[in-house]
Structure 1
């Protein structure tokens, strides 16, 4: 019986955060300058996009003779890409993502949810299908899907200290966005990305860290405890650990960067005190490059 009031409180808390998160994500999406052409790309659509010079490998049937007659060069008439793509999101909801080193900084989970939802808004507006990795919320279009995504992001309850990427049921040759601190078991991260790559999925790895996790500004006596107290370490000389910690963190970043390169993904690290607009623009363009 006691579980029901607890579930209700969690649901009410998530519901109270839903409109603000949507509003912030909408505002963030609206501030990102996508360029004059937005997501227009050459492809198999019907709408004219641009002319370009004839290139090696092009068929002569592709030449637009009327345009070419006006100059001494030969031009190809390109059409806009109109085939909708699917994008799957995995946003880490583990306890480690709730960390914030200062009161004026949002937790990593807040930044991850905001970026994921703003990117989803941009993608869905561009005609893409967006959903969650796994089987809970398949990729769909429309404003209703934005609402469902925001609900799902807020409804995720922390499990273990660190999260494991989800790569089940990904559509072959689609794209994906993974956002996490990626401080947990690296073998599980490898398994997920290799599994996705085997299905032709390409995507983006965005590592979100608190600035304290990047700089390790600790000295003297300190107790380091994971968010769920599953890991505990006490030291009297925290400053003596700095060089070793920074080296280990750099090793993890290098490993993520190498894994992304091997699987055809793209990697970037984002700190929660950095510009959220710049991070969103990078994510959006990285997903576009992954088409």
Structure 2
């Protein structure tokens, strides 16, 4: 993988056109918004939210006497509640992600890591805490966390296919999983089920190469995994196309159903398509309530 600084530079360039990501906390009773828009709930914060009539238990120091002087009763000046949300990130770094059929050399790994880090840029700029799954990096805020995330995302894993780890997810937090999801789906189901049990909501983004969608193979073809541990040779690759496309569609349907059941969002993205469009989807998916 490329230098962490180059990865971060690309992620920041991708994130630049978008406003700060608004990741919503599921456990709050009302909508909680970030940044200059506020979180629209009374509590500890710096920004004014609203005036409300004073109640018997309100202390006299909380009463806004200037506003009260313009009315028959006393009014309390309330501020917005500003609480940072924790978001846990998992980006598949296994060998299958290093595949590309594009002349540009854009691998699934680079696109997935770029999108993951770009989402972290938006989240942290919005005041959120971002970390990595599996206790690799606890959620923290601040620009320094971006450098730590970029460094971890620059590492590779030797396995053919990656598996998400639901460890480190705080109750009622948010999560983002980015992978090709072409390996065993059992760990994915286990991770999302565990996350749902803890009230964690999030987004699944499947990143695929255009060839993995189209299956443009015919005649004698040798299919081999990126590590070389899996290999299949056929003289009639074209005859496999229909069966392959059916199985890929079934896999996508399964992921979408699992996401719906656990309260997550699911989408597929191709490395030949706009990265900005995928980031925009992530913006909406992580912002979405319930």
Fold match by TM threshold 0.5: yes
Q: Which residue of 1 is the match for residue 229 of structure 2?
A: 230
How big is the shift at 1:34? 6.0
Displacement of 1:43 in angstroms is 2.6
The Cα of 1:139 is off from its aligned counterpart by 0.3
TM-score by length of 1: 0.81
Q: Displacement, 1:17?
A: 1.3
C-alpha change, 1:186 and 1:120, in structure 2 (3 Å) is same
Question: Which residue among 11, 16, 30 is the counterpart of 1:30?
Answer: 16
Question: Larger deviation: 174-183 or 37-46?
Answer: 37-46
Q: Using the alignment, how far apart are the partners of 1:186 and 1:262 within structure 2? A: 15
Shift of 1:290: 4.3
The one of the two structures with greater contact order (alpha-carbon pairs below 8 A, sep at least 6) is 2
Are 1:43 and 2:41 an aligned pair?
yes
SS in 2 for 1:138: strand
Q: Unmatched 5+ residue regions in structure 2?
A: 22-32, 52-66, 68-76
Provide structure 1 residue ranges, at least 5 long, that are not aligned to the other structure: 1-13, 52-65, 67-76
> Corresponding residue for 1:254?
253
Query: Post-superposition shift, 1:115?
Result: 0.4
The aligned length equals 251
CA deviation profile, 1:198-227 (whole Å, cap 9, x unmatched): 111100000000010011111111110011
Task: Go from structure 1 to structure 2 and tell me whether the alpha carbon gap of 1:124 and 1:241 turns closer, same or farther (over 3 Å shift).
Answer: same
Alignment of 1:151-230 (within 5 A): 151-155=151-155, 157-230=156-229
In structure 1, the partner of 2:271 is 272
SS in 1 for 2:82: coil
Tell me the distance in 2 between the aligned counterparts of 1:250 and 1:79: 49
Specify the alignment match of 1:131 in structure 2. Answer: 131
TM-score (norm 2): 0.81
Aligned to 2:85: 85
Deviation at 1:103, TM superposition (A): 2.6
Structure with greater proportional helix content: 1
What do residues 217-259 of structure 1 show as CA deviations (whole Å, max 9, x unaligned)? 1111111001111211111111111110000000000000000
Q: CA distance change for structure 1 residues 91 and 290 in 2, over 3 Å: closer, same or farther?
A: farther
**Paired residue secondary structure (2:103):** coil
Q: CA deviation at 1:119?
A: 0.6
Asked if 2 retains the 8 angstrom alpha-carbon contact of 1:112 and 1:179, the reply is yes
Q: Give, in whole Å, the separation in 1 of the partners of 2:50 and 2:263.
A: 29
Change (3 A) 1:80 1:115: farther
Residue 111 of structure 1 aligns with which residue? 111
Distance 2:176 2:161 in 1: 18
| Alpha carbons of structure 1 residues 80 and 228: separation in structure 2 relative to 1, 3 Å | same
CA contact (8 A) 1:175 1:290 kept: no
State how 1:95-110 maps to structure 2 within 5 Å: 95-110=95-110
Say whether the 8 Å CA contact 1:32–1:277 is kept in structure 2: no
Two-structure CA RMSD over aligned residues (Å): 2.2
Number of the residue aligned with 2:60: none
